[in-house]
C-alpha cells in the first residue's frame, strides 16, 4: 500500500480541489461504544471549518441493543440536518462519519430506512466483521455491565449483528488503524489491528474505498491526518494517496 500524503499537503490539496459536495451539506457524527459526543468534538469542529453543517449525536451506547439504538440516534439527527440546511432534499446531502460501533448503527438504520438525500459515509475503525476481542471477553463477569448488550453483539459468532447486516449499498469509505496501545487485547486479534479490531474485519463488501493508517482505535477520530482524509472522502468520494513529489512539490519523506 502506498504511503499517505503528509497532513499539510492533504489539507492544502483539499482546499484547492473542486468539491462534489454541495455547500450546506450536513454531516451526522456517531461515536463508538462507551464513548460520548465529546470524543468526536475535534472532528466536528474540523467539518464545520470545512463548510459542513454538523450534528454530533450523543446516544446511550451501553443501554440498549444495536437494533434499539439506531433509530432513536439517527432519525432525530436527520431532522436536525434538515433544520440546519434549510434546503429541499434534492439540494443538499446528508453524510455520516462514524467511529467504531457508530458505523454499525448506520448499517442497521440504512438497512431498514431509505434516506433519499444520502451522501457519503466514512467509518473509522468499524467492526464490520465483528471483533475477536468480544469473543474472548464477552463471557467475563462485568463485560455486559460495562458495555451493555450492544457490546456483546459486536463479536464474530452467532450473536454478531455486524455479520448479519449485509453489504453496503451506499457510498462508503473506511479508515482502518494498524497501531495498538493495548498489547493484551492485540494478542486476541489474529492479524494487523488497532487494538480492538483487525484491519481485515473493518472491510465491508460494497465499500468504495479503504485505507490503513498508523493510528489506534481509541484515538483515531482525533488524529489530524485521519480528519483530513475524512474531509477529502466526503468531498471527493476517495481517500488521498501519495502523488509524485515532482507534481506536488512536496518531499515525501517530510514529517508533520
Task: Give the range among 102-106, 181-185, 249-253 with minimum mean pLDDT.
Answer: 249-253
Q: In which band, very low, low, confident or very high, does the pLDDT at 242 lie, cut at 50, 70 and 90?
A: low
Domain that holds residue 153: 7-15+23-236
Find out whether 217 and 206 touch, Cβ atoms under 8 Å. no
Question: Cα(99)–Cα(122) distance, rounded to whole angstroms?
Answer: 9
**Considering all CA atoms of the chain, what is the largest pairwise distance in Å, rounded to the nearest integer?**
57
CATH number of the structural domain spanning residue 82? 3.40.50.1820
Write down the pLDDT at residue 238. 97
Between the alpha carbon of residue 95 and those of residues 7, 70, 74, 211, the distances in Å are 23, 16, 12, 19
Phi and psi dihedrals of 114, rounded to 5?
Answer: -90, 120
Per-residue pLDDT at 249: 35
Residue 135 lies in a domain: yes
256: in domain = no
Give the pLDDT of residue 141: 86
Question: Is 60 contained in some domain?
Answer: yes
Q: Residue 157 pLDDT > 50, yes or no? A: yes
pLDDT of residue 248: 34
- Please check the confidence at residue 15 and state whether its pLDDT lies above 50: no
pLDDT over 90 at 9, yes or no: no
95-132 tens-digit pLDDT: 999 999 999 999 999 999 999 999 999 999 999 999 99
Do 197 and 127 touch, CB atoms closer than 8 A? yes
Please check whether residue 11 lies inside any domain of the structure: yes
Inside any domain, residue 221: yes
Residue 252 scores a pLDDT above 60: no
Alpha carbon of 22 to those of 90, 105, 116, 119, 215: distances in Å?
11, 25, 15, 10, 30
For 3, list phi and psi in degrees, rounded to 5.
-65, 155
For the ranges 6-10, 72-76, 100-104, 230-234, which has the lowest average pLDDT? 6-10
Q: pLDDT (tens digit, 9 = 90+) per residue, 185-234?
A: 999 999 999 999 999 999 999 999 999 999 999 999 999 999 999 999 99
Please report the DSSP string for 44-80 in residue order: HHHHHHTT-EEEEE---TTTS-HHHHHHHHHHHHHHH
Of 125, 147, 101, nearest in space to 193 by CA: 125
DSSP class of 142 = T
- Residue 148 in any domain: the answer is yes
Looking at the 3D structure of the chain, how many domains does it have?
1
Residue 244 lies inside a defined structural domain of this protein = no
CB distance 23 to 241 below 8 Å = no
Q: Is residue 249 part of a domain?
A: no
Q: Residue 139 — very low, low, confident or very high, per pLDDT cuts 50/70/90?
A: confident
What is each CA distance from 54 to 94, 178, 228, in whole angstroms? 9, 28, 16
- Residues in contact with 246: Cβ distance below 8 Å, sequence separation at least 6, in sequence order: none
All three cell numbers of 92: 443538499
What average pLDDT does the structure give for the chain? 87
C-alpha grid cell, residue 174 = 473506511
Model confidence at 174, in pLDDT bands (50, 70, 90)?
A: very high
Amino acid at each position: 500500500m502506498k504511503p499517505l500524503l503528509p497532513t499539510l499537503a492533504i489539507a492544502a490539496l483539499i482546499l484547492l480541489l473542486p468539491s462534489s459536495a454541495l455547500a450546506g451539506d450536513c454531516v451526522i457524527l456517531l461515536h463508538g461504544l462507551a464513548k460520548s459526543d465529546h470524543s468526536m468534538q475535534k472532528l466536528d469542529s474540523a467539518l464545520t471549518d470545512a463548510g459542513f453543517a454538523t450534528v454530533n449525536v450523543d446516544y446511550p451506547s451501553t443501554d440498549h441493543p444495536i437494533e434499539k439504538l439506531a433509530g432513536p440516534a439517527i432519525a432525530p439527527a436527520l431532522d436536525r440536518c434538515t433544520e440546519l440546511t434549510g434546503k429541499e432534499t434534492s439540494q443538499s446531502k446528508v453524510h455520516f462519519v462514524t467511529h467504531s460501533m457508530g458505523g454499525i448503527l448506520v448499517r442497521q438504520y440504512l438497512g431498514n430506512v431509505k434516506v433519499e438525500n444520502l451522501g457519503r459515509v466514512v467509518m473509522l475503525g468499524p467492526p464490520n466483521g465483528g471483533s475477536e476481542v468480544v469473543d474472548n471477553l464477552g463471557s467475563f463477569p462485568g463485560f455486559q455491565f460495562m458495555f451493555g448488550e450492544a457490546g456483546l453483539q459486536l463479536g464474530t459468532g452467532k450473536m454478531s449483528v455486524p455479520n448479519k447486516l449485509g453489504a453496503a449499498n451506499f457510498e462508503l469509505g473506511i479508515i482502518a488503524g494498524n497501531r495498538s496501545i493495548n498489547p493484551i487485547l492485540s494478542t486476541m486479534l489474529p492479524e494487523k489491528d488497532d487494538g480492538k479490531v483487525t484491519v481485515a474485519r473493518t472491510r465491508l463488501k460494497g465499500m468504495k474505498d479503504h485505507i490503513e493508517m498508523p493510528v489506534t482505535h481509541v484515538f483515531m477520530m482525533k488524529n489530524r491526518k485521519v480528519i483530513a482524509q475524512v474531509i477529502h472522502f466526503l468531498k471527493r468520494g476517495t481517500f488521498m494517496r501519495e502523488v509524485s513529489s515532482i507534481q506536488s512539490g512536496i518531499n515525501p519523506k517530510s514529517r508533520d
